[in-house]
Amino acid sequence: MSAIPPSRLRALAVMAGLAGALVLALLFSAAAGVEHVDWAAALRPDTAAHAIIFRARLGRALLGAVVGASLGAAGVAFQTLVRNPLADPYVLGVSSGASVGAATAIAFGAVEGAPVAGCAFAGALGAMALVYRLGLVRGRLVPYVALLAGVVLNALSWALILTIATLARLGTTAEILLWLMGSLSPPAWSRLVLTTGAVLIGLAALQLLAPRLNALVLGDEGAHSVGVDVPRTRKLLLVAASFLTAAGVAVAGPIGFVAIIVPHVLRLLIGTDHRVLLPASALGGALFLSLCDTLTRLAFVPLGAEPPVSVLTALLGGPFFLVLLWQRRGERLF
Amino acid sequence: MATTRRTVVLALVLAAGCGRGKPRLSPTTDEVGRPVTPRALPSHRVVSLAPNVTELLFAIGAGDQIVGIDRYSDQPAGRVEHLPSVGSDYEPSLEKIVGLSPDLVFLSRSANRRETADALERLGVPSFITETPAVADMPRTLRDLGKLTGHDADAERQVARLQQGLAAVRARVANQPRPRVLVVVWPEPLYVAGRETFTHDLIDVAGGQNVAAEVRGYTTFPLERVLAVAPDIIILPTHAASGTGDAAAVAYWKRWPSLPAVREHRVFAIEDAIISRPGARLVQGAERLAALLHPELNPRP
């Protein structure tokens, strides 16, 4: 009987801890809010208390968890794909594509969430396809070419968004800006189910690629020597991670910081084995974003307004990450 | 000798010019306290850079003096379409404005940037910034526009028309119960009209209570508070007078059936300009709101 290696035990403990914390965070989100709610009344449907606890609070926290999971795992995938610790799912143009889609929908008078999310998703996939094709050199996906294409696409998209905002009717500019700041709203159940489904598909695809991601860390030669088809792996990785990002960005807008910070924190805690790093980052992203979003809701009491959730992800995640960076200075970070 | 004679002639011409009763152009201050010296007073060629100012200029009979407008000026319909556009409120084309050689350019503090006025100043084009944060400030803006364009009496008539119109609406709803109203300017993230907005003022005139009065201006608001206070009526200001997208905006709220406004089908889209713009149609906006808030007073056949 072989003993489980201590690194594996540690990873399992971290994952169990994250899963437990996520459950607690969701319960906290259901319990915490600016209104006092009668829990007995909440059990009867069609009461205000029911709508507040199960939809305004829990529905929004669940959407936050799903979006956070997509960003956390996609962050890991993109950082390994382009071998750069600064990469996030937005650097390859996915969120810019989503933003162009959303801005177009808003400019054409969409006020409801579903058409905006649909157009954002289409825009994200369009950007992904473009970056993928431009990144192919003689049939191989070259990370730095894709990166360059993504960066230029970001600039181009921003110009397009500003053009749309300039040509739009009065008031529409502000609405486009609201979308660009990123936020979570209580979703219709159908949208939550669709988003969850899409994110689970993306997570499963990345999980299947996890052993090959481990090989990619060795570099192209190393990966090839352990029998990994590097060009094919890169293509699959880009598609899976972009799809995952698109699903999250479409419903929440581009929320910053989660995809950078969560993978790095978990790499520091459990190492770079992608078989555990990917699910742990998904759980960590889910926990982090749903918690930040609950605090966003509560911030209304002292501030008189709900700040964009990106404010809290940066304010809370930034110092935490810097402390970790200081404590682990001298160790290999990536 | 010849030079001296020419100087004398010039002096006489100038004196004659003054003598014909042209008012001396002493600086006045605009509504944000900047000194302004129009090229001519009353100003016969004016540019309006804000939709509400355009509406008000037409209302006081100064529409024919407008030589250029911003691209968002859409009212009065049928009168503004032929006017040259000088671009957006935020970033108008300065060279177009200079090219129109206006006596005075009107801006609005909420729609335009101070930088635009400063840049015009450097180009030698005088500009007047209006500031109309509340319905109570409307008379001042109307009178200033009237004075500067030479339509004092018309401006006074518009002030009276506005005050009497609003008072009439107020009187009509005076003895009715006041429904609780929420004005949603954007659903995701939820933005509402709080106190110190035109919409808030008009809801009060139209006999309603704004349930978001605890917040100031147009701002975010917790959805769970909306669910808890359960407004009787939800007003959705939309951009298009044509009403495109109104049905979708109303249908969006069906997902919250615990709200009385949703259950009783009292979620209404309304053209935002008539309830949020410091323009010439506020009485119309108040009447429309009163009809929605108090259907008992306006029985429809």
Tell me the two tokens of residue A234: 């890169």
- B219 near A CB under 8 A: yes
Per CATH, the number for A6-327 is: 1.10.3470.10
B2 pLDDT exceeds 50?
no
Q: Where are the domains of chain A?
A: 6-327
User: What average pLDDT does the segment B9-32 reach?
Assistant: 56
Report residue B52's pLDDT band, with 50, 70 and 90 as the boundaries. very high
- Residue-wise pLDDT for A272-304, tens only, equals 899 999 999 999 999 999 999 999 999 988 888
Q: Which stretches does DSSP call E strand in B170-229?
A: 180-186, 191-193, 209-210, 218-220
Place B1 in a pLDDT band, splitting at 50, 70 and 90: very low
Locus of tokens 């382009």: A82
Q: What is the pLDDT of residues A11-54, one digit of tens each?
A: 889 999 999 999 999 999 999 999 888 888 888 888 889 999 99
Whether chain B has a CB inside 8 Å of the CB on A273: the answer is no
CB < 8 Å & 24+ apart, contacts of B252-255: B252/A111, B252/A112, B252/A113, B252/B187, B255/A55, B255/A188
Nearest-Cα distance to chain A for B168, in Å, is 31
List Cα–Cα distances, B56 to A48, B49, B154, in angstroms.
44, 12, 11
A308 and B188 Cβ atoms separated by less than 8 Å: no
The answer to which of A199-203, A256-260, B165-169 has the lowest mean pLDDT is A256-260
Q: In the structure, what pLDDT confidence band is assigned to residue A169 with cuts at 50, 70 and 90?
A: confident
Q: Which of A29, A63, A91, A62 is nearest to A295 (CA)?
A: A29
Triad A317, A320, A321: Cα angle to 5°: 80
Fold of B25-162: Rossmann fold (3.40.50)
Flag whether residue A302 sits within 8 Å of chain B, measured between CB atoms.
no
Are A57 and B220 within 8 A, CB to CB?
A: no
Q: Which of residues 23-52 of B touch A (CB under 8 A)?
A: 51
CA B163 from centre of chain: 16
Tokens read off for B160 = 């009276």
Residue of chain B whose alpha carbon sits nearest to that of A47: B258
- Indicate the fold that domain B177-297 takes in CATH: Rossmann fold (3.40.50)
**Structure ipTM:** 0.81
Instruction: Write phi, then psi, for B109 (nearest 5 degrees).
Output: -60, -35
Residue of A nearest to B218 (CA): A305
* Helices A309-327 and A258-270: angle between axes, nearest 10 degrees: 30
Q: Which residues in chain A are contacts of B256 at CB distance < 8 A?
A: 51, 55
Amino acid in the structure at residue A83? R
pTM above 0.95, yes or no: no
* Residues B283/B166, Cβ–Cβ less than 8 Å: yes
B234 phi/psi in degrees, rounded to 5: -120, 125
Mean pLDDT of the B153-157 span = 94
Interface mutation target, options B224, B264, B270, B271, chain A, most CBs of A under 10 Å: B224
SS3 (DSSP) at B222:
coil
- Answer whether A56 touches B (CB < 8 Å): yes
Question: What residues does CATH 3.40.50.1980 cover in chain B?
Answer: 25-162, 177-297
- For residue B234, give the 3-state DSSP assignment: strand
Question: Which of A47, A52, A53, A170 to probe the B interface (max B CBs under 10 A)?
Answer: A170
Question: Which of B230, B239, B245 lies closest to A48 in CB terms?
Answer: B230
CB A105 within 8 A of CB A119: yes
Tens-place pLDDT, residues B184-219: 988 888 999 999 999 999 999 999 999 999 999 999
Amino acid at B130: T
Using 50, 70 and 90 to split pLDDT, how confident is the model at B61? very high
Q: Residue A138 — pLDDT band, cuts 50, 70, 90? A: confident
